[in-house]
Amino acid sequence: MKAPLTWLRSYCDPGLEAAALAERLSMTGTEVERVGRVGAPSGDGFVIGRVLAAEPHPNADRLRVCTVDAGQGESRTIVCGAPNVAAGQTVAVALPGAVLADGTKLRKAKLRGVESAGMILSEAEMEVGDDADGIVVLDGAGAGPGTALADVIAIAETVLDLEITPNRPDCLGIYGIARELHAITGAALAPAPWGDDAEPTGTDGVAALASVAVEVPELCPRFTARAFTDVIVGPSPLWLKARLTAAGQRPINNVVDITNYVMLLTGQPLHAFDLDLVPGGEIIVRTAAPGERMTTLDGVERSLDGESVVVCDRSGPTGLAGIMGGQVSEVSEGTTRVLLEVATWDGVNILRTSNLLALRSEASTRFEKQLHPDLAMRAQRVAAKLMVELCGARLAPGTIDVDSRPRSMDPLTVGYRPERADALLGMRIAPDRAGEYLDRLGFAVESDAGGALEVTVPADRRFDVVREIDLIEEVARVHGLDEHLPATLPGGGAVGGLARHQRLLRRIEDLLRDAGLDEAVTWSFVDRDRGGVPGLAERSPVSLHNPLSEEQAVMRTDLVGGLLAVAARNLAHGTDRVALFESGRAYLPERAPTGAAPLRGGFAGSRPAPVAEPHRIAAVLAGVGGRAGWRADDRPVDFYDAKGIVELVAAALGVDVGFAPTRRAFLHPARAAAVRVGGSGAGWVGELHPQLLERIGARSGAALELDLEPLLAGSAAGEEIYEDVTTHPAVAEDIAVVGDADLDAGTIRAAVLEAGGELLESAEVFDVYAGEQVPAGKRSLALRLAFRAPDRTLTDAEVEPLRARIVAALEATGARLRG
């Protein structure tokens, strides 16, 4: 909402500079986004002048050489290009030195050989209107040459650009803002502009000229109409154009300008019909037939649905209720009879239709916030006076008033208990102060003996202030929160802290960081094709109904896709080794778990989430592997680099993870493994497919993605129980096992552990050999076995039978002990 300062001050002038005024408004809840300006930076150098003579320019057909009395004691020569300049006119003059609206400083200048000592101004040059073709003629302004132009017209207007919150439609009108200024500063408030009404001088009563039938009273709580005859449509006077222009509205003609002006002043939108274009003067308010079409004032033909409300004449829609008028009955230069509609609409319905048609207007942004029916007659009265004054119109006696307001719009009285306010705010506000603040805001206040207040809400605030808490807010903000509110801390002594899963999640993130990975945060939404990474799109995603772009059309079902894109970008920048991880959610179109399982997507609340949101960790290593620096080995990244990260995480959590060959379209088909914890899948790890490597511009790469829930579920980290391993130390023994090259280490190790039984504490592979010492097609694995019993130191005699069982088990897998 743009509030020109001179307009605002005409109703309430606290005597503050614009900046101080803006500060006071901002600190009481009406945020000033900008203090702007329309017109010149200041009124200095702008005066009224009288054209004494206007002669043809000797060297230019289109220019006139004017002699102007600008009150400086002598007349001056001004060269002017306007076709309408003529001797005898009172005009607006900018003298050399004046700074114009566009920021240029006016100087004496020779125009085609004639020196010009000033400039005669047009509306557009003064930014008081949009007419740029001719100069402004101020005959009848009653001001003599030399008078400061600013005394006659607002040529250097300061405009407050206010952010009005949706609960305050009253501040979408200048008088409402003035009332707010009055409340927060105590400065006097001028009487409301709707106090007086126009004198009806028309011959026929309004009932003879028009009729209104409201078929949908629940969507139209009030419809008022007045009729005007003998209307002379023409341009508005300059003061009106100036106010509209400063408030950001384009002047059109006096009738339309009056409707806009009254809306800006009162906050209540109005609509003017050319009554001669409404057959029989019959207005019908109804809902549209589904698919019904009408052309709005902006020239767009719109298709309506069955809930859209239309204002119709006999032949069809003539306006889209509360949003925009129709072209059919638009006021034009030939209009002589006007029907002025001021209605109240159902806000929810207006918002709905406005959203449906993607059509927002000054009217709809006000109506959607629900205006009170009492506002309608205020606007009728202000408009009627202006119609008479500015358009020479005669007001037809009477007003059509179809008032169907429901009981929920009846006057409301709310109690205010000072002790309740104090207990909520944590500060004391004296009851009489509270009463004073509410009174200034326009509330009717009565206090009872106990200090409690009975407060009647004014129509302007009827839907915003309905409870005691709302009154408390009004009192507190006018009182001044920043100035008076103490800063205390809540009592109660709650114990803060991280939950176990949050602690472990941080541990894992820190671990990955310290293992040399950089954390990335990538978009939750991705393109349907998942960046073209093979296989990812096989997982059906949660799709957005209204995405911003195709690149962000569906929710991600994996984390690796985003990381691959980030890796590619960084490699393209010239980074030679990329190691990235992300800790975040995937979004899967599945039932979310119930109960507390936040890492799986089970959250607090009585209603489970609409989709499953498992928390995952993913990593991508790409480019050069191995060690960096001057001792770099420049080896490629391989499977074991990524698997090492999985094992690091598992080790930090104290979880046993298993690996089994698997396939993913984007991974090397023979170098990928599924990760398992206990019996369930927990993700995957693998080398990137060579074709994918080529696409992301990496010479080698590996990746992993883990579901955190199964990992953490299997973790005893932080809850370990001491185990005595020193009293009876383990007996270590190394064995070398030769088997077929494709007999995997996991199978061998599992066979060894199984055969070793309880006393075999661990069996770790510490060397792998294939070459001359073993037959072709075979390989040798060296395992370190540790045998231990908790209650005794094992003897050779005890270990020997275990060793024999292990050998037998190995042979069953096709392997044997070497040497």
- Asked if 521 is part of the footprint of another protein (rule: CB under 8 A), the reply reads yes
Report the distance separating Cα 813 and Cα 755, nearest Å. 12
Query: What DSSP letter does each residue of 711-764 carry, written as one string?
Result: HHHT--TT-------SSSPPEEEEEEEEEETTS-HHHHHHHHHHHHGGGEEEEE
Task: Find the part of the chain contacting another protein (CB under 8 A) among 238-246, 538-546, 770-778, 811-819.
Answer: 538-546
Between residue 621 and residue 680, which ones bind another protein under the rule CB under 8 A?
627-631
Closest approach of Cβ 483 to another protein, in Å? 10
Query: How far are the Cα atoms of 200, 224, 324, 460 from residue 273, in angstroms, in the given order?
Result: 19, 13, 12, 26
274 - beta bridge partners?
Answer: 338
Closest approach of Cβ 549 to another protein, in Å? 8
414 - beta bridge partners?
Answer: 455
Angle at 756 between CA 755 and CA 761, to 5 degrees: 145
Report the distance separating Cα 278 and Cα 336, nearest Å. 13
Q: Which is nearer to another protein, 332 or 408 (CB)?
A: 408
Between residue 491 and residue 520, which ones bind another protein under the rule CB under 8 A?
491-499, 502, 506, 509-510, 512-520
- Asked if 112 is part of the footprint of another protein (rule: CB under 8 A), the reply reads no
Between residue 604 and residue 623, which ones bind another protein under the rule CB under 8 A?
604-613
3-state secondary structure of 218: coil
Question: Is there a contact between 783 and 809 (Cβ–Cβ < 8 Å)?
Answer: no
Closest C-alpha to 383, from 399, 404, 370: 399
Of the residues 2, 14, 16, 27, which one makes contact with another protein according to CB under 8 A:
27
Q: Which is nearer to another protein, 69 or 558 (CB)?
A: 558
Instruction: Using the Cα atoms of residue 747, residue 751, residue 757 and residue 762 in order, give the sign of their dihedral.
Output: negative
Closest approach of Cβ 326 to another protein, in Å? 24
Q: Which is nearer to another protein, 64 or 530 (CB)?
A: 530
Of the residues 268, 570, 700, 715, which one makes contact with another protein according to CB under 8 A:
570
Question: Is there a contact between 498 and 506 (Cβ–Cβ < 8 Å)?
Answer: yes
- Asked if 31 is part of the footprint of another protein (rule: CB under 8 A), the reply reads yes
Closest approach of Cβ 512 to another protein, in Å? 7
Closest approach of Cβ 395 to another protein, in Å? 34
Task: Find the part of the chain contacting another protein (CB under 8 A) among 195-203, 488-496, 684-692, 766-774.
Answer: 488-496
Closest approach of Cβ 281 to another protein, in Å? 33
Only one residue has tokens 């102007």, namely 68
Closest approach of Cβ 650 to another protein, in Å? 18
Closest approach of Cβ 591 to another protein, in Å? 6
Of the residues 157, 257, 313, 368, which one makes contact with another protein according to CB under 8 A:
368
Closest approach of Cβ 243 to another protein, in Å? 27
Between residue 412 and residue 451, which ones bind another protein under the rule CB under 8 A?
423-427
Query: How far are the Cα atoms of 104, 120, 481 from residue 67, in angstroms, in the given order?
Result: 24, 11, 60
Count the residues of the shown chain that bind another protein, applying the rule CB under 8 A.
112
Q: Which residue type sits at 753?
A: L
Query: What DSSP letter does each residue of 111-146 carry, written as one string?
Result: ETTEEE-SEEPBHHHHTSSS--SSB-B-TTS---TT
Question: Is there a contact between 16 and 182 (Cβ–Cβ < 8 Å)?
Answer: no
Question: Is there a contact between 6 and 154 (Cβ–Cβ < 8 Å)?
Answer: yes
Mark residues 293-322: x for contact with another protein by CB under 8 A, - for none: ------------------------------
- Asked if 548 is part of the footprint of another protein (rule: CB under 8 A), the reply reads yes
Of the residues 358, 487, 776, 797, which one makes contact with another protein according to CB under 8 A:
487
Closest C-alpha to 539, from 377, 705, 719, 385: 705
- Asked if 590 is part of the footprint of another protein (rule: CB under 8 A), the reply reads yes
Report the distance separating Cα 739 and Cα 815, nearest Å. 4
Question: Is there a contact between 688 and 622 (Cβ–Cβ < 8 Å)?
Answer: yes
- Asked if 10 is part of the footprint of another protein (rule: CB under 8 A), the reply reads no
- Asked if 552 is part of the footprint of another protein (rule: CB under 8 A), the reply reads yes
Q: Which is nearer to another protein, 540 or 773 (CB)?
A: 540
Q: Which is nearer to another protein, 51 or 304 (CB)?
A: 304
- Asked if 481 is part of the footprint of another protein (rule: CB under 8 A), the reply reads yes
Closest approach of Cβ 406 to another protein, in Å? 16
Between residue 448 and residue 477, which ones bind another protein under the rule CB under 8 A?
467, 469-470, 472-473, 476-477
Report the distance separating Cα 513 and Cα 701, nearest Å. 18
Kind of pairing, strands 680-688 and 667-677? antiparallel
Closest approach of Cβ 534 to another protein, in Å? 22
Closest approach of Cβ 346 to another protein, in Å? 9
Between residue 152 and residue 181, which ones bind another protein under the rule CB under 8 A?
165-168
